[in-house]
A and B are shown apart, each in its own frame.
Chain A
Amino acid sequence: MATTATRKPDLVIRGRKVVGGVVEGEALATQQTISGWGGVNPMKGEVIESRHELRGVSFAGKILVFPGAKGSSGWSAVFHTSRLAGMSPIGMLFTITTTKAALGAVVLRVPSMTDFDIDPVEHIETGDWLRIDADAGEVQVWKGGRP
């Protein structure tokens, strides 16, 4: 997949493939870990956990940038259900590898990465434009939106 970008990325982050593939899209970033069961409404792709900074926000069609998964072992099944509902993220970048996040990425079947040289949670903000090439282990970041 060729990038639609017309200028060089502001930042390139290298990391490890969790699930292969290439995707380009807008980032939805959070500093907080995400609960699946009880924390996400999979039918809307929406974070519902009280006190979460993304509460009421949908990750459908976005590249989710977050530290990692927490909570119930139902994490993968809830994200899997969001795929059935057509409300899943199109890519995931997470910094803490857990069985929940890894299995969730596998069944979401979206390009996903972890183990980065530069922390994406620190450097990527909601609205930034991203291109993930998980097979090449590379994330390109354009600050402030589609270049």
Chain B
Amino acid sequence: MVSLTDAEKAMRDGAEGPAVAKAMDLLIRYAEALDAPDFVYCNNIAGVPGSSPKWVKDYYKEDGGDYRAVFSRFDLDSDEVVDVPRMNGFSCHLQGGMDPELWREQGMTEEAFANFRSDEAEVAAHGIQVMKTCTPYLAGNVPVMGEHCAWMESSAVVFCNSVIGGRTNCEGRESTSAAMLAKRIPNWGFHTDAFRKGQHAIKVEVPVDSIFEWGMLGYFTGAAVEDAIPVLSGDISDAALIKHKHFGAAAASSGGVEMYHMLGITPEAPTREVAFGGADKGETFTYGAKERAEVYERLNSIGSSRDVDYIMLGCPHYSIDQIADAARMLEGRKVHANTELWIFTSRAVKATAMASGYDRILAAAGAKLMTDTCSAISQAVPPGTKVAAFDSAKQTHYLPAIMGIEGWFGTTQDCIDAACTGRWNGGLH
């Protein structure tokens, strides 16, 4: 049985209103499912509260078919519809379904856009930050070391745990929506010290320095350790936010890694002993020239035609330095007539990109800078796309499978060159 404080009992019993009571009820059922002893206080929540496609609203037609109905019945898994007040915790909305301006180019209907607008107005009216990104840490939500968070989005979860030292499990839609009201999350998994220790070792024997190399190492790591916690050591250098972002997203998609340690690089791995919580455990995997070549081959096994019609950058959402790099590579060039180049980021980063003039460089080259979503989330690609190319191992993992298209994986430069020539000329150098 999960033990409750007096304040938690009062919330469950309705002292803070029916929505908080429903939220607490769901969180108690969830804590019992996990066999968690109690709750942690949590004031940093990132999810997708209440947003839903039209058919879900129609499903709850008898309950009013509105945000209130969806939030009550789906998000809080409540049998009754309750009034949903402004959220109590610091609450952020992660990625959504379409670009607020370029939705027509993404193939969205007027009806879907109207539904999107209405959901967004509700999200804002309920005190939820409209970040609309898979990278909240680049848009105004940077946890601190040890902070208890309740985040969705596997690439953000692995970043929070590993790079920042924040503490979050891979939460779901219902648990994050409930936590936004109750400011509690089960004290289980990554909230506890013991759970955060390394379980397998990865020895890196080839130089891993660029973002491309970090992403391939991430893809290897996930496949090797699945959802366990790896401790990486060896020839890893030039750490930077964007490299961790790519590494973690890749490891979370090929395996399900929710936390990793890099010796001397990530905050909970000052020494091997601290990272493992004692002596080395589990298996030791080696990442050498052979493994590197195999990862590259695996990521490129779904490409056969070198005539590329779609280049997608921005998975996870591009940071401002990645947009700056892409703009430099594109300056004075034109996207090929048979090719589309879409670059995805958050609205916050797009604002900086516009202030810095990158949007004009991208537009002059014929590239589109989009926000809120990505091709995998929105299942939106340019019409007629048969062959796509990516600089993201995660997007290469997901999009071709989701859309039934071919895909290539390479460096950002490979991708920009393909966008401008219509031909894929990437290769492992």
Q: Which residue of A lies closest to B151 (CB)?
A: A73
B153 touches A106 (CB 8 A): no
In the bound assembly, the distance between CA atoms of A86 and B195 in angstroms comes to: 36
CB < 8 Å: which of A33, A38, A73, A109 contacts B398?
A: A38
Complex contacts, B227 vs chain A, CB 8 Å? 70, 98
Tell me how far the C-beta of B83 lies from the nearest C-beta in chain A, rounded to whole angstroms: 21
Which residues from A are CB-within-8-Å of B169? 99
Contacts of B188 in A (CB 8 A): 99
Whether the Cβ atoms of A102 and B174 lie closer than 8 Å is: no
B77 interfacial by beta-carbon distance below 8 Å = yes
Q: Is the CB of A76 within 8 A of B173?
A: yes
Residues of A within 8 A of B74 (CB): 77, 80, 84
Interface size on B, residues (CB 8 A): 33
- Interfacial chain B residues near A106, Cβ < 8 Å: 26, 29-30, 33, 77, 174
- Given A38-B401, A84-B56, A105–B172 Cβ distance below 8 Å? no
Chain B proximity of A43: nearest CB distance (Å): 9
Of all chain A residues, which has the CB nearest B29?
A: A106
Q: In the complex, are the beta carbons of B30 and A103 less than 8 A apart?
A: yes
Q: Which residues of B contact A99 (CB under 8 A)?
A: 34, 169-172, 175, 188-189
A50 touching B401 in the complex, CB below 8 Å, given contacts A77-B173, A80-B74, A104-B172 = yes
The size bracket of the interface on A is 20 to 34
- Interface on chain A toward B: helix, strand, loop, or mixed SS? mixed
Closest to A35 in B: B256
Do A103 and B172 touch across chains, with their CB atoms under 8 A apart?
yes
Min distance, Cβ B253 to any Cβ of chain A, angstroms: 8
Q: Is the CB of A103 within 8 A of B256?
A: no
Chain B residues, Cβ within 8 Å of A71: 154, 253, 256
Query: Are A103 and B175 interface neighbours, CB within 8 A?
Result: yes
Residues of B within 8 A of A72 (CB): 154
In whole angstroms, what is the CA distance A105 to B31 when docked?
A: 12
Contacts of B59 in A (CB 8 A): 84
- Is B152 in the interface zone, CB < 8 Å from A? yes
Contact B33 A19, beta carbon cutoff 8 Å:
yes
Residue on A with the closest CB to B185?
A99
Check if B33 sits within 8 Å of A107, measured CB to CB. Answer: no
B residues within 8 A CB of A81?
56
8 new A-B pairs (CB below 8 Å) besides A73-B154, A77-B173, A106-B29? A17-B32, A18-B33, A73-B152, A77-B172, A80-B173, A84-B74, A102-B33, A103-B175
A-B contacts, 29 of them at CB < 8 A, read A17-B32, A18-B33, A19-B29, A38-B402, A71-B256, A73-B152, A73-B157, A75-B172, A76-B172, A76-B173, A76-B175, A77-B173, A77-B174, A80-B74, A80-B77, A84-B56, A97-B34, A98-B170, A99-B169, A99-B172, A99-B188, A100-B170, A102-B33, A103-B174, A103-B175, A105-B33, A106-B26, A106-B29, A115-B35
